[in-house]
């Protein structure tokens, strides 16, 4: 073989090798963090990435369970009462599952929650589940930031065995979530949220960066490898944050995360400051999501609903120019036992309801009727 022939043969083999391996690499790059994820979970992961180019899905916590002035009425939803449509994303909560209560910390029975999750999935909606788990060291609530709690649940810690039984219960619940053909319903699991805040036992100064990362990795690896849960996407989410560095301080690594997000409530902020804060944080979030190939979301929000034009004048304005997968309004608890009236999305007759309809009709927002056509699980 002469020199020219050798060069041509080398070139040919190089091209063949590249073309042979390229499809495999491309396919692998579209898998979520769990490389054994179910078909429906992989489809959801990829379709959520594509859908951000069409708009932002609207979600609501406990939407099908109750609203202002009602509970457990079949097919009812405060969002539907106002718009005639359901949200695209349904948020639920597992707190108190770990201590064998029949209902969660917001008084939603777990057996009803299973039914609501299946109903939302059958409509083509997306399911996300948070977990305000009790403090395993003290037995008190998630809001008890006792020193040493995170260390106690890690391997070798005094509460590690107890903590594993709690994860077992999460696995049992997740395994009950199946569609009409017996397929597992994909769930975006959002544990240890608002992780930069000091109010939960896992967050802020209550854990070192390394401790939190170990907690996250232990949780995800236990559910994947020990309990064989492969229909979960994992959402890492902070509260308000000021910089990329703060956001990523406790980040456990790309191989353990699928969704990145943050929670934000307007509370006493002015309209102008709230818009500026969301704009800055979303811009940073999108940049991180692009770099790490993750799905960006506004994982909880609440606004100033005394402003009748808040939905289009403030919130839609704040989202303008950003590409995020979904926003999740917190729950419409209505009148609580202590006398507090709590709601985060409008209900029928509320002063912001007409403006919310305009928000709903925007080509930038996606609700159930729109998302069903996207066939996110195929």
Q: For residues 116 and 90, is the Cβ–Cβ distance under 8 A?
A: yes
Instruction: For residue range 263-297, list pLDDT tens digits in order.
Output: 999 999 999 999 999 999 999 999 999 999 999 99
Say yes or no to pLDDT of 28 above 70. Answer: no
Closest CA to 97 of 189, 195, 196, 202: 189
CATH code linked to domain 38-374: 3.20.20.80
- What is each CA distance from 360 to 58, 137, 308, 335, in whole angstroms? 9, 44, 15, 26
pLDDT at 12 over 70: no
- Give bridge partners of residue 364 from the DSSP assignment: none
Q: For the chain, give every domain's residue range.
A: 38-374
Alpha-carbon dihedral 165, 166, 167, 169, rounded to 10 degrees = 90
Does this model's pTM top 0.85? My answer is: yes
User: Above 70 in pLDDT, residue 75?
Assistant: yes
Q: 7 pLDDT exceeds 50?
A: no
According to the model, what pLDDT value does residue 25 have?
28
The answer to whether residue 241 scores a pLDDT higher than 70 is yes
Name the pairing type of β-strands 326-329 and 334-335. unpaired
Is the dihedral angle over the CA atoms 254, 38, 220, 259 positive or is it negative?
positive
> CA angle 119-121-123, nearest 5°?
75
Q: Is the pLDDT confidence value at 226 over 70? A: yes
Residues 6+ apart with CB under 8 A from 202: 149, 150, 192, 195, 212, 215
């Amino acid at each position: 073989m002469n020199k020219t022939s050798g060069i041509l043969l080398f070139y040919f083999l190089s091209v063949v090798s590249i073309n042979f391996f390229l499809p495999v690499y491309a396919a692998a790059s579209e898998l979520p963090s769990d490389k054994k994820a179910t078909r429906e979970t992989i489809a959801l992961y990829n379709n959520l990435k594509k859908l951000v180019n069409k708009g932002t899905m609207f979600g609501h916590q406990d939407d099908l369970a109750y609203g202002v002035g009602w509970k457990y009425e079949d097919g009812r939803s405060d969002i539907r009462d106002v718009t005639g449509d359901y949200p695209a994303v349904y948020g639920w909560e597992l707190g108190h599952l770990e201590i064998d209560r029949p209902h969660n910390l917001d008084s939603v029975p777990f057996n009803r929650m299973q039914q609501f999750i299946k109903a939302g999935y059958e409509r083509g909606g997306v399911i996300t589940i948070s977990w305000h788990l009790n403090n395993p060291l003290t037995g008190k609530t998630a809001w008890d930031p006792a020193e040493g709690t995170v260390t106690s649940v890690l391997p070798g810690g005094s509460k590690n065995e107890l903590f594993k039984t709690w994860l077992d219960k999460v696995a049992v619940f997740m395994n009950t979530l199946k569609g009409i053909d017996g397929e597992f319903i994909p769930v975006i699991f959002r544990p240890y949220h608002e992780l930069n805040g000091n109010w939960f036992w896992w967050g802020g100064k209550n854990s070192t960066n390394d401790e939190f990362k170990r907690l996250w990795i232990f949780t995800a690896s236990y559910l994947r490898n020990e309990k064989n849960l492969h229909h979960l996407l994992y959402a890492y989410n902070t509260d308000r944050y000021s910089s990329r560095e703060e956001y990523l301080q406790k980040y456990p690594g790309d191989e353990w995360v699928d969704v990145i997000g943050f929670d934000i409530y307007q509370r006493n902020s002015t309209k102008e400051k709230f818009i500026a804060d969301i704009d800055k944080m979303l811009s940073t979030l999108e940049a991180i999501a692009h770099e790490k190939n993750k799905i960006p979301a506004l994982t909880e929000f609440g606004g100033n609903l005394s402003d009748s034009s808040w939905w289009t004048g403030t919130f839609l304005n704040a989202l303008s120019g950003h590409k995020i997968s979904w926003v999740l309004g917190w729950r419409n608890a209505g009148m609580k036992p202590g006398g507090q009236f709590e709601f985060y999305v409008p209900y029928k007759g509320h002063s912001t309801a007409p403006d919310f309809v305009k928000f709903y009709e925007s080509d930038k927002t996606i609700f159930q009727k729109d998302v069903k056509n996207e066939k996110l699980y195929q």
